[in-house]
């Protein structure tokens, strides 16, 4: 059940989409950022902390380094207190899943360890199986994740070769649509709740089809009503803040 903080009202005046920047950053600012591949969410937070010269900076929903797209960055207490309100909004992703290849991390960050021929699968079966994930369910988080078990992040255990039991978590898939099939690669659009791992969805889809699968591309396109189409690049935000400050 969402905490009370998830029901806080998000003041639209705190959200600064391009080209607008705040006159006073200490009054709070929410910046939608289009994260590039290869950067961690903390990398982006660190960059925004430097650009705004403000220590209290956070984000609302981690993106894996290989993923791109919308990251909500919160600056100063009036904004950071809204973290849960943003985190509990629905998330929308576009992703590419590769059927017939499984990896330990369920994405391209680790090497393929098992292969199966997916050529016998019809497009209709793939579409129907993807659609079957719509609704409420429980999902086992991946070993390569920041979920903590016994006080330690799972990815640290995974890098030591450990595999531990992970309690499943309740999630909701509101929409799951196949937007393209290119041989073994399946393009999908997913709308889901907080806590959903698209990598785990790839794993579970591969298991349901009997051939395995992993994620090869992931982009977060929306968080609630906020779209990546109205998000800052870090360079764009730097230039706008510099111009506003007269530097």
CATH number for the domain harbouring residue 117: 3.30.2350.10
pLDDT in tens, 94-117: 999 999 999 999 999 899 999 999
Q: Is 165 a catalytic residue?
A: no
Model pTM above 0.85? yes
Same domain, 42 and 57: yes
Same domain, 98 and 192: yes
Q: What is the 3-state secondary structure (H, E, C) of 26-62?
A: HHCEEEEEEECCCCCHHHHHHHHHHHHCCCCEEECCC
Same domain, 205 and 96: yes
Do the beta carbons of residue 49 and residue 64 sit within 8 Å?
Answer: no
Question: Residue 165: what pLDDT?
Answer: 78
Number of domains in the chain: 2
Same domain, 43 and 97: no
Same domain, 127 and 208: yes
Q: Is the pLDDT of residue 84 over 80?
A: yes
pLDDT in tens, 205-247: 999 999 999 999 999 999 999 999 999 999 999 999 999 876 6
Same domain, 125 and 167: yes
Same domain, 29 and 54: yes
Same domain, 106 and 218: yes
Domain that holds residue 206: 91-223
Average pLDDT, the chain: 93
Same domain, 11 and 82: yes
Do the beta carbons of residue 33 and residue 117 sit within 8 Å?
Answer: no
SS3 content of the chain, % helix, strand, coil (to 5): 30, 30, 40
Same domain, 22 and 82: yes
Same domain, 157 and 231: no
Do the beta carbons of residue 50 and residue 27 sit within 8 Å?
Answer: no
Catalytic residue selected from 13, 43, 64, 124? 64
Same domain, 76 and 158: no
Strands (E), the chain: 29-35, 57-59, 68-75, 91-99, 101-102, 114-115, 135-139, 148-149, 152-153, 169-182, 185-192, 213-223, 226-227
């Amino acid at each position: 059940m969402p905490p009370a903080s998830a029901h806080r009202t998000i003041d639209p005046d705190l959200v600064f989409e391009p080209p607008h920047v705040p006159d006073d950053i200490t009054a709070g600012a929410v910046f939608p950022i289009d994260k590039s591949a290869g950067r961690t969410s903390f990398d982006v937070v660190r960059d925004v902390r430097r650009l705004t010269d403000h220590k209290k900076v956070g984000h609302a929903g981690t993106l894996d380094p290989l993923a791109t797209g919308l990251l909500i960055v919160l600056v100063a207490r009036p904004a950071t207190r809204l973290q849960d309100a943003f985190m509990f909004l629905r998330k929308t992703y576009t992703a590419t899943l590769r059927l017939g290849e499984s990896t330990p991390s369920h994405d391209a960050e680790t090497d393929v360890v098992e292969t199966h021929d997916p050529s016998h699968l019809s497009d209709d079966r793939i579409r129907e199986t993807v659609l079957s994930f719509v609704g409420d369910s429980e999902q086992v988080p991946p070993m390569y994740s920041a979920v903590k078990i016994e006080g330690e992040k799972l990815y640290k255990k995974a890098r030591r070769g450990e595999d531990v039991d992970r309690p499943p978590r309740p999630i909701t898939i509101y929409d799951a649509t196949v937007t393209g099939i290119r041989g073994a690669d399946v393009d999908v659009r997913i709308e889901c709740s907080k806590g959903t791992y698209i990598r785990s969805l790839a794993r579970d889809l591969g298991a349901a089809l009997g051939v395995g699968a992993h994620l090869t591309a992931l982009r977060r396109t929306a968080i609630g009503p906020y779209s990546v189409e109205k998000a800052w690049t870090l360079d764009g935000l730097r230039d706008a803040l510099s111009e506003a400050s007269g530097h």
